[in-house]
Amino acid sequence: MKDQQKKIRSSLSTSAFTDFYEEHKSIIKEGLIALLICAIGDLCAGIILGRMTFFLETFPGLLVIVPGAIGMRGNIFGSFASRLSTNLHIGLISPEFEFSEQLNYNIYSSFVLTLVLSIFLGIVGKIFCILLHSPSMNLIDFILICTLAGLISNLIMLPITMFVSFKSFEHGWDPDNITSPIIAAFGDLFTLPAIIASTYILKALNYNFIVKDVALVVIVVAVLVAFAYCYKLSDETKTILKQSTPILLLCSFLGGSAGGILNSSVETLLTNPSLLTLIPLFSGESGSLISILGARLSSGLHSGLVEPFRRPQGEAVHNFIISYILAIIIFPVIGLLAETSSLGLGTIGVGFDKILLISTLSGLILVTIMVFVVYYISTVSYNNNLDPDNIVIPISTSVTDSISSLILISVSLLILSIFI
């Protein structure tokens, strides 16, 4: 009798999972494709980071701003993509790639937010170096590097975000499942080269301190004027800036804390190159996975598919399960990518068994925490008449960036100490 009950339970469980997969397979398929594309960009970023030793030594403290800079691109342009997705879903923006007031306002707001947050990130980077008693460049260098990198990234990321959003919608794919990971991948891919390019520009300005000081003053004044103009431009831009700015300032601070965590463990990372390569992969994939969840919850709240209850129910729980399915697949894959690329570049890895365990265990711990964080950020913002598109992705990805570094470093030290 007990054996029969076990068989019945097993059959029901298998049947329930099969039914769930059949109902949501398009979401899982689209999300997995997007995450794998994102992994390519993150892998390139990891390889670049692993080869940035010269720049990290020449510009002390540079590592502190790297997670914040990468996270900022995902936050700003992920929110931009999420707003485009929502506007496409509800018909405020035409699926034809045409400029309109609604689209232009979103472009202006994203451009200005990038520059404002870049200045703040430079200040935060210097503060964390002082608090952690780490060697660092001066404040002017921090601000100029961050702002110049932000400007370069803006010119690349704005057209890419619009292209991906409109093309995914045009081909019948749900932008909520596609845009955030792909935008994050491009953000990860171009952020580090943008930082490197900005260091070369800074070197060119260093021949005369007056030129560098004048450049700083001109940039700061121009950004403040642009922010004031954009704030008064329309109700749409005012709402985006008003709701996004304080959130993104908090996110930059969290990004700086993630950089501080990495900087404090720099010796462990440099002696285990595959872990250094894994950092952008793990952070990027975690942020993209959580962005998919955040974008889907945001659209679900707007459309009524997700109810803002205290306890997750119905479609919200389904989205949690989808996140776990994607996590179980993607985190072992990025561990393999990190170790394989390290061996391919002739550096010593930590071993496939260790890297798989580190990546998978860290990922599952992170997802378990973040699904609830994202859900409650979404419902609280929605219940307080704040647009989740402006709130959820920036906060959730920044929290993800911050705790992902802590979780990855902690699990790595634990696993490595057990196997030594």
| Each residue's pLDDT tens digit, 14-67 | 666 677 767 777 778 878 887 887 788 778 877 777 677 677 778 888 888 887
pLDDT value at position 12?
A: 42
Contact 38, 285 (CB under 8 A): yes
Lowest mean pLDDT among 79-83, 150-154, 226-230: 79-83
* pLDDT mean across residues, the chain: 80
Position 419 confidence tier, pLDDT thresholds 50, 70, 90: low
Residues 6+ away with beta carbon under 8 Å from 66: 49, 191, 192, 195, 259, 262
Q: How far apart are alpha carbons 350 and 412 in whole angstroms?
A: 10
Q: How much is the pLDDT for 256?
A: 79
Instruction: Say how many CA atoms lie within 13 Å of 197 toward its Cβ.
Output: 12
Residue 10, pLDDT above cutoff 50: no
CB atoms under 10 Å from CB of 99, counted, come to 9
State the average pLDDT over residues 269-289.
Answer: 77
Nearest-angstrom CA–CA distance, 79 and 394:
7
Token pair recorded at residue 295: 């974008």
Separation of first and last alpha carbons in the chain: 48
Q: What is the pTM of this model?
A: 0.72
